[in-house]
Amino acid sequence: MPIFKLLSKKFTYQKKDKLKSRKQTQFLFSNGKAITMHPIRLIYNIENAEAGIFPTGLLQAGVGAPSRHFRKAVQRNRVKRLLREGYRLEKPDFMSAISLTNTRLNLFFLYVDVNVQSQQQIQTTMKLLLQKLADKLKSNVV
Residue 4 pLDDT > 80:
no
What are the start-end ranges of the H helices in the chain?
A: 3-10, 22-31, 73-97, 119-139
* pLDDT digits 0-9 by tens, 21-80: 899 999 999 999 999 999 999 999 988 766 455 555 689 999 999 999 999 999 999 999
More confident residue, 101 or 32: 32
Find residue 64's DSSP bridge partners: 110
Where along the chain do its domains lie?
A: 18-137
Query: Taking all residues of the chain, what is their mean pLDDT, rounded to a whole number?
Result: 87
18-137: what fold?
Ribosomal Protein S5; domain 2 (3.30.230)
The pTM of the full predicted model, rounded to 2 decimals, is 0.86
